[in-house]
Amino acid sequence: MKFIYSIMGVLLTAMLSTTQAQQKEIPNKNAKNKVIVAYVTSRGNVMPDPEFVTHINYAFGHVNKTFDGVSIENEDRLRRIVELKAKYPLLKVLLSIGGWKSGRFSEMAASEENRHKFVNDCERVVKDFKLDGIDIDWEYPTSSEAEISSSPDDTKNYTLLMSEIRSKIGKKKLLTLASVSDAKYIDFKAITPIVDFVNVMTYDMGTPPNHHAGLYRSKYTKNISVDEGVTAHLNAGIPASKLVLGMPFYGHGKGDIAWYIDYKDIVKLSGYTKKWDDDAKAPYLTNDAGEFVLTYEDPKSIAIKCSYLLNKGMLGAMYWDYAADTEDGELRKAVYSGVMKK
């Protein structure tokens, strides 16, 4: 009997261990503590509604012309956005430094003196504007694709920069970044312990007749899909719990449709046929000749992406940009309900 009980004990222990292992592998799908990051630009006067976001990234700040500090677009608008925290104390507001064609990062990060001064200025900006942190949008280290200067040492210097910003602003402030969809240019294993989360720019991956933010690969995928971009970041060493999925509130068109068009203008288009790519889980428009002429997102595709990121155990969603939505918030409400399950 002792032998039988012993065997049963071993089997029971093995079963419990297997169950525990399986439980550890189940991603966190709970909406609690999820983030919704909205990029809000310095242009215009559209004010974000904190009821539908947890974080606001103010776009943009830049490396200044002397490579040793931060310049901010429309400081008064940033102050007005920070004032929203008086009514919504849980709201987080960060300054995004960089953006497409925002240069001088390479020169700044390569110089220990300039880097030190820049980091000190980041601390000043956080204190002066009562910010919750800094978001670095250097597009992209080691590459001049955005028509800015670059160096083979950029990736190494990027790591030094992020480490120094973290040391200066402290652990209580947020340090985040925007990353290109294929996870290139950055040493993620080195910076993952330093940063709070990574906003993955899973858009601009194609133009008509291809999707620019298709969730999965289809015949209309030119480079990579959103899912492949997420996988690339996971393989680069970032845990899903630090990944934030980027979603575009704009589309890319051709022909009579502008190459860059806000969603609020897309819904006003007429004379086109709306199609759905069930492989990519993405909508698109065709013209009278049946040609693919517009790639974009809609509430349906966003809802599917929100379910995807929750199933992956990702931290949340990010979108560019808040003002591109319809006045009644068709897309931002889809993101909020999809991530927060409300």
pLDDT at residue 342, rounded to an integer: 75
Residue 19, pLDDT above cutoff 60:
no
Which of 15-29, 45-59, 283-297 has the weakest average pLDDT? 15-29
pLDDT at residue 57, rounded to an integer: 98
Q: What is the mean pLDDT of the chain?
A: 92
Q: What is the pLDDT of residues 42-101, one digit of tens each?
A: 998 999 999 999 999 999 999 999 999 999 999 999 999 999 999 999 999 999 999 999
What is the pLDDT averaged over residues 171-192?
97
Work out the pLDDT band at 133, boundaries 50, 70, 90: very high
| Domain spans, the chain | 29-251+299-340
pLDDT at residue 31, rounded to an integer: 60
Both tokens of 340, joined, read: 């927060």
Residue 12, pLDDT above cutoff 60:
no
Residue 29, pLDDT above cutoff 70:
no
CA distance 327 to 322: 10
C-alpha dist (Å) from residue 57 to 11, 183, 324: 52, 20, 15
Residue 88: CB partners within 8 Å, gap ≥ 6? 50
Task: Report which of 248, 224, 232, 227 is spatially closest to residue 317, judged by C-alpha positions.
Answer: 248
pLDDT at residue 4, rounded to an integer: 38
With a threshold of 0.85, does the pTM exceed it? yes
Architecture of domain 29-251+299-340: Alpha-Beta Barrel (3.20)
Angle at 21 between CA 20 and CA 23, to 5 degrees: 65
CA distance 107 to 87: 40
Burial class (CB in 10 A: 0-12, 13-18, 19+), 337: middle
pLDDT at residue 59, rounded to an integer: 98
What is the pLDDT averaged over residues 195-212?
98
